Amino acid sequence: MPFGLLKYGLRSEYKPQPVLPKRPELKSSYDVVIIGAGGHGLAAAYYLAKVHGITDVAVLDKGYLAGGNTARNTAIIRSNYLTPEGVAFYDEAMHLWSGLSQEFDFNLQVSNRGHLTLAHSDAALRTMRWRAEVNKHMGVKSELIYPDEIRKLCPQLDLSKNTRWPILGALHHPPGATVRHDAMAWGYAHGASTRGVEIHQHTEVTGFQRDGDRITAVETSRGTVQCGRVLQAVAGSSSRVGDMAGLRLPIRTTPLQACVSIPLMPFLDPIIVSGSLHTYIWQTARGELVMGGAGDPYPGYFTRSTLDFKEGLIAHVLELFPFLGEVRFMRQWAGMTDMTPDFSPIMGRTPLSNYYIDSGWGTWGFKATPVAGKRMAETVATDRVPDILSPFDMQRFLRFDQVGERGAASVGH
């Protein structure tokens, strides 16, 4: 890459490189149809082409490229989960993240700055200790630290006893990082399309044609395509698409709001999360504070922002950083999260023989993009679910066999 960069720098002309070629007409059939051109769908297409040599693939999206939750998350990546199954899964993603900019030859702005999950009660301290020990057992760097060490990592935090819920300790996860989420999507999209995958934006799936337990064709707003295999990877529309395929899912689609402040001088190094206070906050390279909290208290298919969400969120942000009281908001937005009963995803096979699902990503999907894409590509290519995905089988709820990650995945309680 350095020589390519040098050559590029010595050019007399810089032609803009489009991320994607012009959208073609839909062919009459594809080996694989991926529904959803978000991070997960694009990543699956990329690994199908790159690793498995499967390039007769169409990725369909009713909207624009990665305009759903991939565009709306708060871009944090980490693997400090609670269950061994969860930790193994998200840590595979962390290993993939670290090489992605190089692989794409495109800067994903992976900013490894460390992640602190604050504990404000004895029960929370116990959970952080539990997570730290499971993490270490699985080879992931995490440690329970106390206010003296927290102060060294983030001196701006209010670590006094003058708060309603004083900070007693924190789970420190040094590998925690942030990524430019759009760049990741473009990297996967470009990598997939240069290998022959077709990406069809503004192409809505309207139904399926079925023969027994096989989907034979996908009906879209731009025509019908025969398909060998189908992968559903639509966050926010999982039940709507799943219904068309006759699937029964344990998903409640719920808005998750987030917001960003005006740019400030850089002061916040690590990513700060508080489960007890339903708050997370980090500062971008442009100085903006990205802030998020719990999902909305009732399900819905909308992305509007509310005042009461911000009142709750900022009350807790000011407990952590009281000096931010005068700072202004710059932007607010929301995504639609597919919440599952155990805060773990739904991945793998469905009762249909050629229809695969990558869903139930709730508030924990962005960080998993590389491993979800890679392992779902493997599942679709080999028609076999790899062991690392088997705990997330869609039938696990009927067996009461949940992978409980509520505390580690989310700040909503």
Among 202, 248, 286, 331, binds other proteins (CB under 8 A): 248
Task: Give the x/- contact pattern for other proteins in 56-85, rule: CB under 8 A.
Answer: ------------------------------
Q: Judge contact between 167 and 157, C-beta under 8 A.
A: yes
Report if residue 406 touches other proteins, rule: CB under 8 A.
no
What are the two backbone dihedrals, phi and then psi, of residue 368, each rounded to the nearest 5 degrees? -90, 0
Among 95, 137, 304, 331, binds other proteins (CB under 8 A): 304
Closest contact distance (angstroms) between CB of 319 and other proteins is 19
End-to-end CA distance of the chain: 46
**Which is nearer to other proteins, 113 or 252 (by Cβ)?**
252
Among 99, 223, 297, 351, binds other proteins (CB under 8 A): 297
Report if residue 22 touches other proteins, rule: CB under 8 A.
no
Closest contact distance (angstroms) between CB of 47 and other proteins is 29
Q: Judge contact between 275 and 304, C-beta under 8 A.
A: no
Among 5, 194, 223, 301, binds other proteins (CB under 8 A): 301
Closest contact distance (angstroms) between CB of 205 and other proteins is 14
Report if residue 413 touches other proteins, rule: CB under 8 A.
no
Q: What is the distance between the alpha carbons of residues 330 and 326, in angstroms, rounded to a whole number? A: 13
What are the two backbone dihedrals, phi and then psi, of residue 342, each rounded to the nearest 5 degrees? -110, 10
Report if residue 399 touches other proteins, rule: CB under 8 A.
yes
Report if residue 404 touches other proteins, rule: CB under 8 A.
no
Closest contact distance (angstroms) between CB of 401 and other proteins is 10
Closest contact distance (angstroms) between CB of 358 and other proteins is 17
Q: Which residues contact 36 (CB under 8 A, 6 or more apart)?
A: 59, 60, 61, 68, 232, 233, 234, 235, 237
- The residue type at 308: D
Question: To which residue do tokens 């305009």 refer?
Answer: 67
Binding residue count for other proteins, defined by CB under 8 A: 23
Report if residue 400 touches other proteins, rule: CB under 8 A.
yes
Closest contact distance (angstroms) between CB of 297 and other proteins is 6
Q: What is the distance between the alpha carbons of residues 279 and 301, in angstroms, rounded to a whole number? A: 23
Tally of residues, the chain:
413
Task: Give the x/- contact pattern for other proteins in 2-21, rule: CB under 8 A.
Answer: --------------------
Label residues 383-408 b or e (16+ Cβ within 10 Å = b): eebeebbebbbbebbeeeebbebbbb
Closest contact distance (angstroms) between CB of 356 and other proteins is 19
Q: Judge contact between 236 and 39, C-beta under 8 A.
A: no
Helix (H) or strand (E) holding 125: helix 122-137
CA distances from 129 to 16, 80, 133 (A): 50, 11, 6
Among 147, 174, 228, 299, binds other proteins (CB under 8 A): 299
**Which is nearer to other proteins, 238 or 279 (by Cβ)?**
238
Q: What is the distance between the alpha carbons of residues 288 and 100, in angstroms, rounded to a whole number? A: 25
Closest contact distance (angstroms) between CB of 132 and other proteins is 30
Closest contact distance (angstroms) between CB of 342 and other proteins is 9
Closest contact distance (angstroms) between CB of 294 and other proteins is 13
Subset of residues 319 to 358 that bind other proteins, contact rule: CB under 8 A: 341
Three-class DSSP category at 225: strand
**Which is nearer to other proteins, 74 or 239 (by Cβ)?**
239
Three-class DSSP category at 37: coil
Report if residue 228 touches other proteins, rule: CB under 8 A.
no
Give the CA count within 13 Å in the CB-facing half-sphere of 229: 25
**Which is nearer to other proteins, 231 or 249 (by Cβ)?**
249
* Residues contributing to the site for other proteins (CB under 8 A): 238-240, 248-253, 297-302, 304, 306, 308, 341, 397-400
